[in-house]
Amino acid sequence: MEQDVLYKVAMTMIPKVGAVTARNLISYCGGLEAVFQARKKELCAVPGVGEVLARQILDSNALRLAEREIEFLEKTGIRPIFYLDKEYPDRLRPHTDSPLLLYYKGIQDLNALRMVAIIGTRKPSPYGVHICEELVEELKSYQVTIISGLAYGIDVAAHRKSLATDIPTIGVLAHGLQQIYPASHQHVARQMVAHGGLLTEYPSHITPKREHFPMRNRIVAGLCDALVVVETGKEGGSMITAQFANDYNKDVFAFPGRVKDKHAIGGNYLIKTHRAALIEEAKDLAYIMGWEAQQSAVGVQQQLFTELSTDEKLVVDLLRKNEGAGIDKLTYESRMTGSCMAAVLLNLEFKGMIRSLPGKRYMLM
């Protein structure tokens, strides 16, 4: 067991220490291990940590609990991903309420090129299930990863259709990975591990609780580039997730429905109040996201290539090999300075050769 992993997991086992306080502790103490070696006076100097919390940190059995958790992770093939790790989702990283640590079991890259969250009511109409499945099928040509919460209704319909059409799909759970909730979705969950993944911020022993689901929803919203509401009432988890997505400046879409239809009230409200764009098919989403242009610009790209500078050609070649690469990776592999790379990327954007993605990543048009 790596000592580094032990402290990463242990950090989340300290009672009453959330993500913001944990980041302050790590920063002020000078590292993960230093938090557990700090004296009470040093802990009290950290913003957000008073005498009571400092005593809890000193008296907690977080390291022992972490050892037990890591044993389970190693047996079950679950990966702990810390917010400073390169595998941590770039789309989540900028948000102050993002989890300190994620537990992940699966094969799909959490920084995949395009992420679409599909959510909705747990009791959809047959029509709602139909348009959900139709949307998933239409999105296949855009090389997306589908995200949802593995709940009853629209969530599991989106996951099942993704599996049926060979689209990677990730389920974000409101409990530890020692179990699957609801239990009737265990078979779907097993398939998802092999064709996508299961993700949670909760240690293995944590069971589903009412307060966990709104917290789960912020991860769904934070992970995606676009969030689609299929059917929902005016209150509930889908509306909470849409609000998170709005707060995170994500593109939100909603299918419209008949006036006063209980399944359409939430979606119609989001559209009416300009919290979501109206969507009727995947092409609507692709148009707003700029994804259609990416598929049709190959000829223009090849034509422009001969007009690029040596540095610009180098960056284009790197993006052909590493689609969706971040600015740090491009700078390292090109051996350019950071300022030079920033200028080259800006020029390529002006020329319509590349477009920027969340997390300071880039792809060819």
Distance, first Cα to last Cα, the chain: 43
CA distances from 186 to 160, 169, 198 (A): 12, 15, 11
Kind plus residue range of the DSSP H or E element containing 356: strand 354-357
Residue 304: per-residue pLDDT? 54
Residue 2: per-residue pLDDT? 62
Q: Collapse the DSSP code of 262 into the 3-class scheme (helix H, G, I; strand E, B; otherwise coil) and give the result.
A: coil
Q: How confident is the model at residue 68 (pLDDT cuts 50, 70, 90)?
A: very high
Domain residue limits at 111 = 106-291
Q: How confident is the model at residue 157 (pLDDT cuts 50, 70, 90)?
A: very high
Pick left, alpha or beta for residue 93 (phi over 0 → left; psi -120 to 50 → alpha; otherwise beta): alpha
Kind plus residue range of the DSSP H or E element containing 119: strand 115-119
User: d(Cα 14, Cα 155) in Å, to the nearest integer?
Assistant: 32
Mean pLDDT, residues 209-231 taken together: 95
Which position has the token pair 């790197």? 318
- Same structural domain for residues 249 and 319? no
Please name the amino acid found at residue 72.
F
Considering the entire predicted model, what is its pTM?
Answer: 0.78
- Same structural domain for residues 243 and 266? yes
Asked whether residue 300 carries a pLDDT value surpassing 80, the answer given is no
Residue 349: per-residue pLDDT? 84
Mean pLDDT, residues 80-105 taken together: 93
The total domain count for the chain is 3
- At residue 224, what are phi and psi to the nearest 5 degrees? -95, 160
Please name the amino acid found at residue 340.
C
- Same structural domain for residues 234 and 360? no
Q: How confident is the model at residue 3 (pLDDT cuts 50, 70, 90)?
A: low
- Same structural domain for residues 287 and 301? no
CATH number at residue 11: 1.10.150.20
Asked whether residue 358 carries a pLDDT value surpassing 80, the answer given is no
CATH number at residue 317: 1.10.10.10
CATH number at residue 263: 3.40.50.450
Asked whether residue 138 carries a pLDDT value surpassing 70, the answer given is yes
Residue 363: per-residue pLDDT? 85
Mean pLDDT, residues 179-190 taken together: 96
Asked whether residue 4 carries a pLDDT value surpassing 60, the answer given is yes
Tell me the per-residue pLDDT of 100-124, one tens digit each, with 9 for 90 and over: 999 999 999 999 999 999 999 999 9
- Same structural domain for residues 259 and 120? yes
Mean pLDDT, residues 162-191 taken together: 96
DSSP secondary structure letter of residue 184: G
- Same structural domain for residues 129 and 167? yes
